[in-house]
């Protein structure tokens, strides 16, 4: 049995200050959802990303769901979504019995293709069936071409939800990732660049909408002495304890971004001379949440799956790139718009790509161990 220390893809990295805030929550007996640390976390997040306000919730998925509710998405509506992402970006569309339409990636950012998006919106307008929203994902820390995407969506008067679950701390054209759309969302799941164990955040410059989001997230309880409910609500608010973890984590976010970018640079230095390897491109400043790369099958005969297996044999976790959502059985009947008619970029990336361990606590010695396996497996293909 392999006894080497396990290297995880993206493990939590605590600062050491989290226990102080948790202890504060216990001392004050603010253990249930809401409390002063929730308010503090919201204020600090809004200040960091540069939006008017923020609402702390139970997950990034909950934040997307609330954004869809605020935009009036209902049964039978369509919502355009990035195809190349995790299922949580599109599942909330199904919660409202709406229909997701998937938009391909483009190669400069691996994110939503402005060309495919404009083609889809033009067709939707001609069919008098424009979507209620467009959900754009910033994949692996890299921002989509938000200026182009916003200009296209503005042309058709369609609001944008910016899924920045993987890109907190990234910067695009001088602005923090997640602050471009009508609503931005973040995730604090255990594998994200900072974590609250579980949790998310909805941000916006529309403070009235955020007030409504908080109302919906607390079971839509009306301001009455008795329990009064006039519409369906959700149990989506973040607890005061988890918010305390978030406050401590947010204080070291820039350090975590720098650490992950250093991890990427070490991979690049060790592997970039191997003919046939290409790393995910960077536009703006990516937090490099995960270091991702693709292999040219004409030059490298080892497949991503074989490399994942070789790393697993050394107790190292690696993953394929996201399987495109239009290839998932859940969405088998959904419409998909490729980048070009004969060019599905996200399918090509999925076939050729790999995610490497990228945690901010990854040591140089651990990374040398990973690189040794990678080089050996490629050289002896």
In a domain, residue 3? The reply is: no
User: pLDDT tens for residues 33-59?
Assistant: 788 999 999 999 999 999 999 999 999
How many residues belong to the chain?
Answer: 381
**CATH of residue 140:** 3.40.640.10
**CATH of residue 290:** 3.90.1150.10
Q: How far apart are CA 156 and CA 146, in angstroms?
A: 15
User: pLDDT tens for residues 205-220?
Assistant: 999 999 999 999 998 8
**Same-domain status, 210 and 268:** no
In a domain, residue 67? The reply is: yes
H or E element, residue 121: helix 114-126
Q: Could you list the residue range(s) of the whole structural domain that residue 333 is in?
A: 254-379
In a domain, residue 13? The reply is: no
Of 252, 272, 301, the one marking the end of a domain is 252
Q: pLDDT averaged over the chain? A: 96
- The number of domains in the chain is 2
C-alpha distances (whole Å) from 71 to each of 175, 241, 297 are: 24, 30, 44
Q: How far is CA 55 from the centre of its chain?
A: 17
**Same-domain status, 155 and 291:** no
Of 252, 287, 317, the one marking the end of a domain is 252
On whether the CB atoms of residues 199 and 242 are closer than 8 A, the answer is yes
User: pLDDT tens for residues 128-157?
Assistant: 999 999 999 999 999 999 999 999 999 999
**Same-domain status, 88 and 148:** yes
The mean per-residue pLDDT over the stretch 237-253 comes to 97
**Same-domain status, 320 and 269:** yes
In this structure, what is the dihedral angle of CA atoms 60, 150, 113, 70, given to the nearest 10 degrees? 30
**Residue whose pair of structure tokens reads 């693709």 in the numeric block:** 294
The mean per-residue pLDDT over the stretch 100-123 comes to 98
| DSSP E strand stretches across 179-234 | 183-187, 200-204
Of 252, 268, 290, the one marking the end of a domain is 252
User: pLDDT tens for residues 308-353?
Assistant: 999 999 999 999 999 999 999 999 999 999 999 889 999 999 999 9
> Is the pLDDT reported for residue 1 higher than 60?
no
**Same-domain status, 330 and 187:** no
The mean per-residue pLDDT over the stretch 231-245 comes to 94
Q: How far apart are CA 14 and CA 334, in angstroms?
A: 40
**Same-domain status, 174 and 265:** no
In a domain, residue 10? The reply is: no
**Same-domain status, 120 and 215:** yes
Q: Helix (H, G, I), strand (E, B), or coil: what is residue 67?
A: helix
**Same-domain status, 309 and 174:** no
**Same-domain status, 100 and 205:** yes
On whether the CB atoms of residues 266 and 364 are closer than 8 A, the answer is yes
Return the structure tokens found at 106.
């483009």
**Same-domain status, 240 and 345:** no
Return the structure tokens found at 77.
């509506």
Q: How far apart are CA 320 and CA 276, in angstroms?
A: 17
> Is the pLDDT reported for residue 378 higher than 90?
no
């Amino acid at each position: 049995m392999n006894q080497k220390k396990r290297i995880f893809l993206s493990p939590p990295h605590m600062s050491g200050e989290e226990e102080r805030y948790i202890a504060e929550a216990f001392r004050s007996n603010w253990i249930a959802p809401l409390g002063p640390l929730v308010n503090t976390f919201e204020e600090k997040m809004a200040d960091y990303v540069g939006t008017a306000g923020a609402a702390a919730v139970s997950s990034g998925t909950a934040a997307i769901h609330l954004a869809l509710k605020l935009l009036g998405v209902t049964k039978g509506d369509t919502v355009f979504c990035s195809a190349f992402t995790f299922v949580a970006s599109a599942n909330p569309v199904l919660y409202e019995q709406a229909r997701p339409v998937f938009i391909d990636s483009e190669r400069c950012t691996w994110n939503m293709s402005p060309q495919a998006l404009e083609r889809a919106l033009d067709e939707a307008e001609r069919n008098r069936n424009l979507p209620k929203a467009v959900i754009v994902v910033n994949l692996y820390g890299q921002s989509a071409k938000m200026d182009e995407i916003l200009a296209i969506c503005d042309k058709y008067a369609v609001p944008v939800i910016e899924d920045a679950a993987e890109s907190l701390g990234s910067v695009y054209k001088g602005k923090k990732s997640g602050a471009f759309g009508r609503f931005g969302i973040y995730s604090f799941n255990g594998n994200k660049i900072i974590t609250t164990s579980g949790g998310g955040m909805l941000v916006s410059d529309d403070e009235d909408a955020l007030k409504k989001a908080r109302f919906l997230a607390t079971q839509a309880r009306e301001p009455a002495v008795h329990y009064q409910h006039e519409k369906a609500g959700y149990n989506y608010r973040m607890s005061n304890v988890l918010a305390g973890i978030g406050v401590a984590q947010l204080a070291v976010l820039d350090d975590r971004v720098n650490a992950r970018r250093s991890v990427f640079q070490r991979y690049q230095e060790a592997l970039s001379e191997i003919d046939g390897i290409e790393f995910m491109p960077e536009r703006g400043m990516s937090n490099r949440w995960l270091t991702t790369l693709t292999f040219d099958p004409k030059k490298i005969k080892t497949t991503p799956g074989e490399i994942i297996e070789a790393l697993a044999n050394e107790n190292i976790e690696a993953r394929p790139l996201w399987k495109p959502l239009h290839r998932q059985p859940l969405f088998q009947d959904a419409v998909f718009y490729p980048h070009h008619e004969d060019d599905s970029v996200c399918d090509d990336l999925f076939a050729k790509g790999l995610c490497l361990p990228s945690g901010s606590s990854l040591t140089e010695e651990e990374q040398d161990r990973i690189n040794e396996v990678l080089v050996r497996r490629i050289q002896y293909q």
